[in-house]
Amino acid sequence: MAETAEELRRNLAALRLERGTPPPRRRRRWAVPVGVVAAIVVALAALRVARGRAAVVEVAQATAAATAAGTGDGVPVLSGAGYVVSADRYIAIGARVAGRIDRYMVEEGDHVQQGDPLVQLDPREYEAAVQRAEADLRQARATAGLRATQLRRAEKLGGSGVISKDELDLRKAEAETAAAAVGQAEATLAAARVALEYTTLRAPRRGVILAKFKEVGEIAVPGGFSGSGDLIRMANLDDLRGQVDVTESELAKIRLGQRAELVPDAYPDRRYRAHVVKLYPQVDRQKGTLRIEVQIEEPDDLLWPDMSARITFLAPLATSAGGGPGVLVPRNAVRGTPEAPFVWTVSDGTVRHVDVAVGTDFADRVQITRGLDGGEAVVVGSPPELHDGQRVTTAGAR
């Protein structure tokens, strides 16, 4: 009986709770679903707020063909940095006769016309040669006159039998020899005058003086190796061209006769009309480029050989599908897939989804043949996710 009471006390002690120990709580199974529902409600509320807030987008204007190109010759399809060159490259002017350089009549950078004097050599030796030739000619003419008079007398005497036929033949030979001497003296005088004329070097055509190779007082000699006899170098300005290297991947955009535009780096506000006149027949294997030349149609005195310039090749812009002017937009304004392209347009702070038909690429722009009329503001760049009819704010707008 005592053992039974002891076991009862032990069992009661095991059931006793320590003071301060919280009673066990039953797990609430509905806590997790409630948290999920709350998160969904918050997300939907945030989405509603985001949709109500105006997104910021960057826009550009769709350009009609009439205002797409500044020259009216087409739309830029390719542009590159090049140089202004002369069609004849350089004209080297050297001495035709030997002589000491007396003076230069031009300086580097001077513009000259055809026939303008450039360099004067010492002419005294050649002036003396002309005077000597003139004296020889006068002497030859006097002798020829005397021989002609003697021949006429001999012919009269020969007719009356006073002199023999041999004497008459001798007088004829003397007269002919004197006449030939006159011709030889005239040729010598002409050569002397030409040599005297060569002492003044003149511009063979219109151009600009690029360099002088000798100083006053030095001896100029004709000919020589590697242009050692050259005194002046000038460039032809009648036919100035732009020269640019085009990569092989862009050659399909270039053809002979194509319209182009040249803008010199020194005068970025001046534009010169040009057209393609030469495609070099060999590609540079190392650079993978082909050299192209365009002829500047109306060059002026502001253009200099070897000036840096930007050359832009132009192509005509086709009309739209409806027969109106073609429209150009930046390339990054076209979205969607090649089969279903579209653009976002912005009007009165609202964005609209517009399906378009895409035409030819023009450098960093693309032609839209259907869907736009020109003048619309189109979204460019990487805007946030948009939906039709959404309120937007253009970048920089207040």
- The CATH number of the structural domain formed by 90-122+199-238 is 2.40.50.100
Per-residue pLDDT, averaged over 221-242, amounts to: 78
Answer whether 69's CB lies under 8 Å from 75's CB: yes
Residues 6+ apart with CB under 8 A from 147: 171, 174, 175, 177, 178, 179
Tell me which of 122-126, 128-132, 250-254 is least confident: 250-254
Work out the percent of the chain whose per-residue pLDDT is above 70. Answer: 79
Determine the Cα–Cα distance for residues 119 and 201; give it in Å rounded to an integer.
5
Mean pLDDT of the region 337-349: 87
Give the contacts of 377 (CB within 8 A, at least 6 positions apart).
59, 60, 61, 62, 345, 346, 347, 394
**172, burial (CB in 10 Å: exposed 0-12, middle 13-18, buried 19+):** middle
Prediction pTM value: 0.55
What pLDDT score was predicted for residue 203? Answer: 92
HEC string for 73-110: CCEEEEEEEEEEEECCCEEEEECCCCEEEEEECCCCCC
Residue 151, phi then psi, degrees to nearest 5: -65, -40
At residue 250, the pLDDT reads 87
Q: Is the pLDDT of residue 71 over 50?
A: no
Task: Report the alpha-carbon distance of residue 375 to residue 128 in Å, rounded.
Answer: 80
Would you state the pLDDT for residue 77?
A: 82
Cα distance between residue 347 and residue 374, in whole Å: 13
Q: What integer is the mean pLDDT of 267-286?
A: 91
CATH of domain 55-68+319-394: 2.40.420.20
Does residue 125 carry a pLDDT above 90? Answer: yes
Evaluate whether 277 touches 294 at the Cβ level (below 8 Å).
yes
In sequence order, the β-bridge partners of residue 290 are 246
**20-24, 168-172, 196-200: least confidently modelled range:** 20-24
Query: In degrees rounded to 5, what are phi and psi of residue 336?
Result: 85, -150
Instruction: Calculate mean pLDDT across residues 341-350.
Output: 87
Indicate if the pLDDT at residue 68 is higher than 50. no
Q: Using CA atoms, how far apart are residues 346 and 358, in angstroms rounded to an integer?
A: 19
pLDDT given at position 386: 84
Predicted pLDDT at 69: 43
Looking at residue 19, what is its pLDDT?
Answer: 58
pLDDT at 298 over 70: yes
Spell out the residues 6+ positions from residue 225 whose beta carbon is closer than 8 angstroms to its own: none
Burial class of 257 by CB neighbour count within 10 A (0 to 12, 13 to 18, 19+): exposed
pLDDT of residue 15: 61
What DSSP state is assigned to residue 250?
G
* Predicted confidence (pLDDT) at residue 66 exceeds the cutoff of 50: no
Selected residue with higher pLDDT from 122 and 362: 122
Instruction: Return the minimum-mean-pLDDT range out of 227-231, 266-270, 387-391.
Output: 227-231
pLDDT of residue 1: 47
pLDDT the model gives residue 339: 86
Which of 21-35, 315-329, 368-382 has the least mean pLDDT?
21-35
Domain limits, the chain: 55-68+319-394, 75-87+239-315, 90-122+199-238, 124-195
Dihedral (CA of 125, 128, 133, 134) sign: positive
Cα–Cα distance for residue pair 99/243, rounded to 1 Å: 39
Q: Are 299 and 332 in contact (CB under 8 A)?
A: no
Domain 124-195 architecture: Orthogonal Bundle (1.10)
- Between 189 and 228, name the one with better pLDDT: 189
Per-residue pLDDT at 179: 92
Which CATH number does 75-87+239-315 carry?
A: 2.40.30.170
